[in-house]
Amino acid sequence: MSHGIRLHVWGEYACWTRPEMKAERVSYDVMTPSGARGILEAIYWKPQMRWVIDRIRVLAPIRFANIRRNEVDLPKISVTAKAMQGLESGPSIHAEENRQQRATLLLTNVVYGIEAHIEILDAQEKNGTTLSEPVAKHLDQFNRRVRDGACFHRPYLGCREFPAYFAPVDAAGFPPVPDELKGERQLGFMLDDLEHVGHPGSTPRPHRCDARCQPRFFRARMLDGMVDVAACRKERQEVFGS
């Protein structure tokens, strides 16, 4: 049994980077399901549950802008054993020595509506209790944190320098879709999420990332400003079986 949530999200800038672009960052036209999940997990998450994105609504016209940013060209900071033991200075990056400029094609003035539901991991009945009780507790905590503006860390729109603002959806529901977004629009292949493969014979676990994670893509399409992620995911499973 699952319970759904709705969340209003907006921000000044957003960049959901396409993985096929190598040197420069180019954003998808809309928020990705994995990006939406990251926003929900920043607000509320427990290891016993996971967020499953059902629909993403685009509530503002899609506008792109080009900017150039200074970035470092190192993928991560290396930590030596001596640094961990305190025998030498800790890990650091000298930005002046590793700086490079990269162009970014990003989105501006974005507004989204996220619809998702909670699933309990390793779901089973214990002592005659049903799964609706723990799910309802998670849902209540999430809604309370949204009303209070609480989050574990500031959610962001693709890149950490693009903060996301969020609010509950009132009884009137989401605002109407802009006229220019009405109709059907093909968005091409989009990243759904990363799936943890694990050892042979084990059950796949989405949203647990390590070296054996496999990306899952789907052919996204937007109808009247809404990407029905659940329907697109079902079509992918029917074609590819995963």
In a domain? residue 189: yes
DSSP E strand boundaries for the chain:
4-14, 25-26, 49-58, 64-72, 99-120, 165-168, 184-196, 205-206, 213-223, 226-228
pLDDT category, 199, cuts 50, 70, 90?
very low
What pLDDT score does 203 carry? 45
pLDDT tens-place string over residues 15-34: 999 888 767 889 999 999 99
CATH number assigned to the domain comprising residue 174 = 3.30.70.2660
In a domain? residue 81: no
In a domain? residue 207: yes
Count of the separate structural domains present in the chain: 1
What pLDDT score does 124 carry? 55
| pLDDT greater than 80 at residue 132 | no
What pLDDT score does 238 carry? 64
Classify 25 as helix, strand or coil: strand
In a domain? residue 204: yes
Mean per-residue pLDDT over the chain, rounded: 81
| pLDDT greater than 90 at residue 146 | yes
pLDDT category, 201, cuts 50, 70, 90?
very low
What pLDDT score does 65 carry? 94
| pLDDT greater than 80 at residue 212 | no
Compare 154 and 242 and report the one with higher pLDDT: 154
pLDDT tens-place string over residues 54-107: 999 999 999 999 988 877 766 666 665 555 566 566 566 666 666 777 888 999
Say which residues have a Cβ less than 8 Å from residue 47's Cβ, sequence separation at least 6: 121
Tokens of 194: 């990363």
What pLDDT score does 123 carry? 52
pLDDT tens-place string over residues 161-174: 999 999 999 888 88
What pLDDT score does 227 carry? 93
In a domain? residue 142: yes
Domain of 171? Answer: 4-72+96-240
| pLDDT greater than 60 at residue 9 | yes
Say which residues have a Cβ less than 8 Å from residue 64's Cβ, sequence separation at least 6: 27, 105, 106, 107, 108
Compare 212 and 189 and report the one with higher pLDDT: 189
What pLDDT score does 61 carry? 95
Compare 102 and 204 and report the one with higher pLDDT: 102
From 8, 51, 56, 44, select the one nearest 140 (Cα to Cα): 44
Say which residues have a Cβ less than 8 Å from residue 86's Cβ, sequence separation at least 6: none
In a domain? residue 154: yes
Amino acid sitting at position 68: R
Q: Are 204 and 198 in contact (CB under 8 A)?
A: yes
In a domain? residue 90: no
| pLDDT greater than 60 at residue 129 | no
What pLDDT score does 191 carry? 86
In a domain? residue 86: no
